[in-house]
Amino acid sequence: MSASIIGTTAVLLNTVTLLAVVGGHEVTNLFEVTEVYAHKGDDWTMVALSFTKLLTPPGETWDPSKVRSRERARPCQCLFQDRLRSLGSRLRDPTCTSTGSSALLHADRTRHMPTWFITGCSTGLGRHLAEALLRAGNQVVVTARNLRDVEDLLSRYPGHAYGVSLDVTDQAQIAEAVESAIERFGQIDVLVNNAGYGYRSAVEEGDPADVEALFATNFFGPVNLIKAVLPGMRARRRGVIVNISSIAVRITPAGSGYYAAVKGALEGMSGSLRKELEPLGISVIVVEPGGFRTDFGGRSLKQSPEPIDDYAETAGKRRKENDTAHPSRGGDPAKAAQSMITAVESPNPPAVLVLGAPTVGMFRDELDARRAELDAWEEVSSSTGM
């Protein structure tokens, strides 16, 4: 058996059984590969640990102190072949051109993250992301309130797509879904909190029950999912959490006060979470999309039942019956999905990923406006010292 692994440092060993081709040279014994790397200093030691960890059978606890143990280097042959092929296919990528330890560590951290758990896969960005990942051969936990909405994905990608019915406002369902996903795939490497919906209303018009439901879905649902997956990620000292937000947090449009508030809560929590998890090897990414060709303006958008006439020229213009924005003018959700995958697989993922060229412009304009206002009021702001 052989596999081409591109972008790693070449190692030559005088051994007999061919297992892989690394950097164009034959490497023949996994145990000897780990020993050679282990003797090359700290950087190469980490490469060895990553390689050995990659080939650890599911259900076993990886112990770095046993990196030279022959038992750790001998998973069953079928498992070894499967994982070596998986590693080879993921590193056969034109974007992975670096050599040495960083390439293999990169592979261990991102390209070998086979299990994604995505909420809200029935439509929109969640569905496009799930489909892109499945086409690439990843394992994806595809969740939706109604599994009939994702039956086509489950049937087209058997063995890679695992469907779970999930209402993110139900803590018991969250616990069951995460447990079921781990039983099926062994672990969750990437959590994407995508499920949610929009809400338009002047602040005065907002119905308390509607606002409470909005926060239950768009904020507390993601929080409870994060809490459910973090024990496993902390134990492995790796993982990625992706929280889908909105450019509404930056531009705070009239009529979107509550939606901007719930996404602002999600972003504020994500910023603190990122600082808490970064030392543990876990990344947190906030995604701020603008307008895309999805059904967000249809069934994924709710609004206050009783408009107030005084807000007709502000919040009223953005009510569903008055909004003239056409969904066909938005960005391509398939390209948005690829951008999210690129961010997750990056060795330096962004804290905030803005999606859409118009959205980048809005983000930059808002930053410039805030900076100008800060400068204009600097003297007053700084006059508060004792």
Distance of CA 110 to the CA centre of its chain: 11
Residue 385 is assigned to a structural domain of this protein: no
Nearest residue to 199 via CA among 61, 357, 315, 367: 315
Q: Does any domain span residue 96?
A: yes
H or E element that contains 284: strand 282-289
Residue 382 lies in a domain: no
Q: Does residue 330 sit in the same domain as residue 290?
A: yes
Domain identity same for 206 and 279 = yes
Please check whether residues 171 and 59 belong to one and the same domain: no
Q: Using the 3D structure, point to which of 52, 87, 111 is the last residue of a domain.
A: 111
Q: Which domain holds residue 69?
A: 4-111
102 and 157 both lie in a single domain? no
Same structural domain, 315 and 347: yes
**Residue-level pLDDT, tens digit, the chain, 386 residues:** 333 333 333 232 222 232 343 344 433 334 333 333 333 333 333 333 344 444 444 455 545 444 333 333 333 333 333 444 444 443 334 333 333 222 322 334 334 447 999 999 998 899 999 999 999 999 999 999 999 999 999 999 998 999 999 999 999 999 999 999 999 999 999 999 999 998 999 999 999 999 999 999 999 999 999 999 999 999 999 999 999 999 998 999 999 999 999 999 999 999 999 999 999 999 999 999 887 665 554 566 888 888 999 999 998 887 866 665 555 567 888 999 999 999 999 999 999 999 988 889 999 999 999 999 999 999 999 999 88
- Does residue 378 fall inside a structural domain? no
Residue 380 lies in a domain: no
Token pair 């990414």: residue: 285
Asked if 83 and 160 sit in the same domain, the reply is: no
15: Cβ–Cβ under 8 A, 6 or more apart, which residues?
28, 29, 32
Give the CATH number for residue 202: 3.40.50.720
**Residues assigned a catalytic role:** 245, 259, 263
User: Does one domain contain both 168 and 79?
Assistant: no
Determine the 3-state secondary structure of 305 from DSSP.
coil
Task: Name 140's bridge partners.
Answer: 116, 161
- Whether 152 and 164 map to the same domain: the answer is yes
Domain boundary among 89, 111, 133: 111
Distance CA(95)–CA(236), nearest Å, equals 26
Name the domain count of the chain.
2
Both 200 and 343 in one domain: the answer is: yes
Residues 97 and 141 in one domain: no
Do 130 and 49 sit in the same domain of this protein? no
User: Among 94, 111, 128, where does a domain finish?
Assistant: 111
- Indicate if 238 and 340 belong to the same structural domain: yes
